[in-house]
Structure 1
Amino acid sequence: MDEQGQGSGTDVNEVRLVGRVSGEPTVRTLPSGDEVVTLRVVVSRTDGRPVDTIDLACWSARSRRAAQHLADGTRVEVEGSLRRRFYRTPGGAASRYEVEVRRLVRERTRVSTC
């Protein structure tokens, strides 16, 4: 580590998830006119513990189109970056983490042959 606590290599913020869509995707139009599609993916842990539910945000036209066609329970592969979003609530400032999606595809079904 260097003096600022940074590693000597390049920092990386990459997320890869494979899981099932939980619920229906939601399309929102922001005051700026931008659209975002949000959804959740449920992923199993490798340590045998309960599943994790991960929030996703699709900002690019390509990822929004892909997300809008997904139904509850659809198995997907996701690539993106972890982001922390800040917002205001009646109780004060709050934040949450979500994956900003770069690539979202239905997982291909594997066919086994004998």
Structure 2
Amino acid sequence: MNDADNQVLLRGRVADAAEIRTLPSGDELVSFRLMVERSAAARRRSRQLVDTFDCSAWTSRLRGKALRLNPGDRVEVSGELRRLFSSKGGGVSSRVYVDLGSLTRLPEPPVASSA
């Protein structure tokens, strides 16, 4: 690993249906939002229970996987963080998203039975 390694691994639930976007270049990408629960330590510092991350799939294989996801599905994603800048109404804004390298649907955890 070098000093400039940009890799993230997140596990969470799909927040909403994936969307196909066609860029001005003609390239297509599929994006969705991933909700990740905050740790117990983080919840002690904030009332916010989850963080939401935008995820973008660029390859045809990952686009297909993303389009088969349903809201609430448990997934694991890995990739690199990217930052996009845009200017609207005279101001500049930015957002960070996960540029997906892998996407795996996870099985639901077993439901504990009450005896």
Once residues 17 and 90 of structure 1 are traced to their aligned partners in structure 2, the CA distance between those partners, rounded to angstroms, is: 34
- With the length of structure 2 as denominator, give the TM-score of the two structures: 0.82
- 1:40-79 pair list within 5 angstroms: 40-46=33-39, 47=41, 49=43, 50-79=49-78
Structure 1 residues 92 and 48: CA distance shift in structure 2, 3 A: closer
- The yes-or-no answer on 1:108 pairing with 2:107 is yes
Deviations 1:27-81 (A, max 9, x none): 0111111001111000011225211011111111111111000010000010101
Deviations 1:57-114 (A, max 9, x none): 11111111110000100000101011111112124221110111110110134669xx
Equivalent pairs counted in the alignment come to 104
Residue 3 of structure 1 corresponds to which residue in structure 2?
none
- The yes-or-no answer on 1:10 pairing with 2:9 is no
Once residues 8 and 109 of structure 2 are traced to their aligned partners in structure 1, the CA distance between those partners, rounded to angstroms, is: 23
Determine which structure has the larger helix proportion and give its number: 2
Runs of 4+ in 1 over 2 A off after TM superposition: 108-112
Once residues 26 and 52 of structure 1 are traced to their aligned partners in structure 2, the CA distance between those partners, rounded to angstroms, is: 20
Once residues 109 and 71 of structure 2 are traced to their aligned partners in structure 1, the CA distance between those partners, rounded to angstroms, is: 20
- With the length of structure 1 as denominator, give the TM-score of the two structures: 0.83
Give the secondary-structure state (helix, strand or coil) at the position aligned to 1:24.
Answer: coil
Once residues 91 and 26 of structure 1 are traced to their aligned partners in structure 2, the CA distance between those partners, rounded to angstroms, is: 28
Once residues 72 and 20 of structure 1 are traced to their aligned partners in structure 2, the CA distance between those partners, rounded to angstroms, is: 7
Once residues 72 and 104 of structure 1 are traced to their aligned partners in structure 2, the CA distance between those partners, rounded to angstroms, is: 15
Report percent identity of matched pairs: 43
